[in-house]
Structure 1
């Protein structure tokens, strides 16, 4: 029964929420949110570490590493943290966009360009499937990203406390 509803779906294949979700799952970058915890952390540490290539010289220009070692480390870590935060934000925005498309009862799509937008109302079985995907697949990813943001904020707060005592 679900196959017949899917086959009459007028939404172009690449704009169907289920296909957008599968595309994110298979994407090199957005798949990071689906990795097991050790690999997820490795990716984030890698981004933070590579970000030091920009943040380190900037921090050393502000604080001589040999004279102000702690300030240099805190400034560089914060600078690298900005790149990490932007990476996390991009992951979050991508997954939340797909979540919103999966949750919506009515889907907006474009047939051939920006000037001919249409809407399509999902049949109940597709809406149920999409909402189950959100509940069991997408929400845990968003929850992990929110927790990661929270940890990053705590680290920034801790760094600022250390900075105040220098």
Structure 2
């Protein structure tokens, strides 16, 4: 008897897009993007706050807080923001990679090493399932991360304007 197209997949389990999605979803770090809004914001606030441990002393060395308080706060906030942006970019790139793998009709994989790359065309049932996951699970996460990066861009622009006014 012939195996159904859904059950037969030559791609090694760890390279299957659905498995990569599951690993990302269960990952300690990448799971942050799936948290409810309040907890998501708290995680990002912690990253930004802890980044002040590095950015604060650098900003204080450049702008003495007792003489140039506004510049110190803006420089320290921007410096801490760099770490936050890097964290958000890592989240975005990880989810974007999985989104691309799930959306593709054919996927590349390696059986035993870099030298024997193969491709596999997903059967219609698998492709439909993967694209549903993208539509209802992954796209909202990517949109949240894009909105967050947009808010940070607005804060950076506002900080730049405030810097020029002070």
Q: Which residue of 1 aligns with 2:93?
A: 93
How many Å apart are 1:17 and its aligned residue?
Answer: 0.2
How many Å apart are 1:5 and its aligned residue?
Answer: 2.6
**SS in structure 1 at match of 2:4:** helix
Tell me whether 1:126 sits opposite 2:121 in the alignment: no
8 A contact 2:107–2:120 mirrored in 1: yes
How many Å apart are 1:6 and its aligned residue?
Answer: 3.5
Taking the aligned partners of 1:4 and 1:78, their CA distance within structure 2 comes to: 55
Taking the aligned partners of 1:7 and 1:132, their CA distance within structure 2 comes to: 18
Taking the aligned partners of 1:85 and 1:157, their CA distance within structure 2 comes to: 14
How many Å apart are 1:66 and its aligned residue?
Answer: 1.1
Encode CA deviations 1:6-55: one digit per residue, 9 max, x unaligned: 43100000000000000010000000110000000001001000111110
Number of aligned pairs?
A: 164
Taking the aligned partners of 1:25 and 1:87, their CA distance within structure 2 comes to: 16
Q: Which residue of 1 aligns with 2:84?
A: 84
| Aligned CA-pair RMSD | 0.9
How many Å apart are 1:114 and its aligned residue?
Answer: 0.6
**SS in structure 1 at match of 2:5:** helix
Taking the aligned partners of 2:89 and 2:70, their CA distance within structure 1 comes to: 28
Gaps of 5+ in 1: none
Encode CA deviations 1:109-133: one digit per residue, 9 max, x unaligned: 0011111100000000000000000
Q: Which residue of 2 aligns with 1:22?
A: 22
Taking the aligned partners of 1:7 and 1:53, their CA distance within structure 2 comes to: 51
Q: Which residue of 2 aligns with 1:142?
A: 142
Gaps of 5+ in 2: none
Taking the aligned partners of 2:135 and 2:32, their CA distance within structure 1 comes to: 19
**SS in structure 1 at match of 2:20:** helix
Q: TM-score, normalised by structure 2?
A: 0.97
Q: TM-score, normalised by structure 1?
A: 0.97
Q: Which residue of 1 aligns with 2:158?
A: 158
